[in-house]
Amino acid sequence: MTTTPLKLFNSLTRQLEEFQPVHPGEARVYTCGPTVYNYPHIGNMRAYVFADVLGRTLSFKGYKLTHVINITDVGHLTDDADAGEDKMEKMAAERAQSIWDIAQHYTEAYWADVKALGIRQPAKWTIATEYVPAMIDFAKSIADKHCYELDSGLYFDVTTVADYGRLARAVTEEGEGRIDEVEGKRNAADFAIWRKTPPGEKRQMEWDSPWGRGAPGWHLECSVMSGQVLGFPFDIHTGGIDHREIHHPNEIAQNQAFCCTNGLDVPANSGANIWMHNNFLVERSGKMSKSAGEFLRLQLLIDKGYHPLAYRLMCLQAHYRSELEFSWEGLQAALVRLKRMVMAWERLAQTPPKTAGSPTAMEQILSNHETAFAGTISEDLNTAVALTVFEELLADKKISSDFRLDLLRKFDAVLGFEFDNLSRTDLRIRPKAATITEAEIEAVLTQRKEARAAKDFATSDRLRDELAAQGVEVMDGDPLGWDWKLGE
């Protein structure tokens, strides 16, 4: 197989770049994780499916991967201009619950989605509240040269670092960029490193610091956790495209300040060599918004009978840098495609290996498939085409089943479906609204079989229609014989 270099789109340069690891043979990746004040929506989960495919691709290319994802359980405000409330405090107040309980509940819900979507466990989950002393130390080391204090907290002066905002390509002087919401800020884009608790108030989560009792700023968290666990500079930092505008430029500014102050020799001092961003999952009717009541979370898809891996497939069918429009029809199409793959895999696993034929010819064909797959996934993670290469190999009868399965498993390790542990039965999920049980369906189907054997087609048709009225589709071509009808 010819080895293709891995090319990734670096948001810093807005170009494809060949991946050159900082530490030979290793890849160190940091992914901005969720703020655990609510369930993640499926758009949020697209960011982690993307980061997972990136990690899997780095492993496939032979790099020893260290992946870190954080859990933000403090500090993320409802407003980007430092004027809003802490999302965690706000939810805790609304629910009259402790923040710690809220954080635990939604962290576990997020981890359940991670598992259901086949996202691999990172080497480490960093929990923001466990790093507060490290955040205070980081802030202390840059405070003199780069920060100033106001009544409301410690602020970072963005003019103290070179090229602030270059990731966003933002003009931060007059007019463009962010609006200054906090009184006394020197520059519109300055941001809070430490937020003091206002006099007379008490936050559920607060710590003592040289700038008074309070809580860290959200951007500070990611700089500290990524730098501490992976060391500056590390290889790749990921997040959704919205982070390219404010969160990541602010992280980069802090990293620059920290690296210069602490004498670290970091090229361009941005902390990570490559910054990668997934585009958004969009939904026209506004169901993605967490304030919309029944919003699009993974459990909603499952409740309607869609297997979570159908959503993973939907994500992989699009390039991570393209916007992806969610629709129930699109999700259904992905589920049908997944079913076909699973059925083909099941058949292949039962096919005895060929004993005749030339092994050299077969090896050549296998090598072509492998080169095609490696080439496409190495081109900035082109999962859409990689999926078709996978399907071509799945269907290539020229190759003995055992060889085919060996290589398909390698591809599956990148795509992340775990076909060896996935059966056609697993994909048939009972919708929450179903009124009939599986046993009742099987009983009707037995009656229908008897009617057909007796050539009583009128009864057979009536039974099929009765099942259809209860949301069950009789499928004579499918090995399972029937499936749930899915809709919105």
Please give the Cα distance from 215 to 206 (Å, whole number): 5
To the nearest 10 degrees (0 to 180), the angle between helices 457-469 and 438-453 is: 160
177 binds, among ligand AMP, Zn ion, none (CB under 5 to 8 A by kind): none
207 binds, among Zn ion, ligand AMP, none (CB under 5 to 8 A by kind): none
Please give the Cα distance from 473 to 458 (Å, whole number): 17
- φ, ψ for residue 427 (rounded to 5)? -80, -10
214 to 233, contacts with Zn ion by CB under 5 A?
Answer: 222
242 binds, among ligand AMP, Zn ion, none (CB under 5 to 8 A by kind): ligand AMP
Enumerate residues 6+ apart whose C-beta is below 8 A from 284.
325
Nearer to ligand AMP, 178 or 237 (CB): 237
Please give the Cα distance from 215 to 233 (Å, whole number): 26
Return the structure tokens found at 164.
Answer: 């602030």
230 to 259, contacts with Zn ion by CB under 5 A?
Answer: none
427 binds, among ligand AMP, Zn ion, none (CB under 5 to 8 A by kind): none
Nearer to ligand AMP, 128 or 266 (CB): 128
Nearer to Zn ion, 47 or 222 (CB): 222
User: In angstroms, what is the minimal distance from the CB of 73 to Zn ion?
Assistant: 13
Nearer to ligand AMP, 135 or 143 (CB): 135
29 to 48, contacts with Zn ion by CB under 5 A?
Answer: 32
43 binds, among Zn ion, ligand AMP, none (CB under 5 to 8 A by kind): ligand AMP
User: In angstroms, what is the minimal distance from the CB of 86 to Zn ion?
Assistant: 15
222 binds, among Zn ion, ligand AMP, none (CB under 5 to 8 A by kind): Zn ion
Nearer to ligand AMP, 46 or 312 (CB): 46
User: In angstroms, what is the minimal distance from the CB of 37 to ligand AMP?
Assistant: 8
User: In angstroms, what is the minimal distance from the CB of 242 to ligand AMP?
Assistant: 5
47 binds, among ligand AMP, Zn ion, none (CB under 5 to 8 A by kind): ligand AMP
464 binds, among Zn ion, ligand AMP, none (CB under 5 to 8 A by kind): none
Return the structure tokens found at 198.
Answer: 């206002």
User: In angstroms, what is the minimal distance from the CB of 57 to ligand AMP?
Assistant: 18
User: In angstroms, what is the minimal distance from the CB of 58 to Zn ion?
Assistant: 20
User: In angstroms, what is the minimal distance from the CB of 38 to ligand AMP?
Assistant: 9
Nearer to Zn ion, 32 or 335 (CB): 32
Nearer to Zn ion, 28 or 404 (CB): 28
Nearer to ligand AMP, 153 or 240 (CB): 240
Say how many residues touch Zn ion, by CB under 5 A. Answer: 2
Chain residues that interact with ligand AMP, rule: CB under 6 A = 32, 34-35, 43-44, 46-47, 239-240, 242-243, 278, 280-281, 288
Nearer to Zn ion, 32 or 272 (CB): 32
Please give the Cα distance from 229 to 399 (Å, whole number): 45
To the nearest 10 degrees (0 to 180), the angle between helices 401-415 and 328-349 is: 150
User: In angstroms, what is the minimal distance from the CB of 83 to Zn ion?
Assistant: 20
User: In angstroms, what is the minimal distance from the CB of 1 to Zn ion?
Assistant: 37
316 binds, among ligand AMP, Zn ion, none (CB under 5 to 8 A by kind): none
Of the CA atoms within 13 Å of residue 330, those in its CB half-sphere come to: 15
Binding site for Zn ion (CB under 5 A): 32, 222
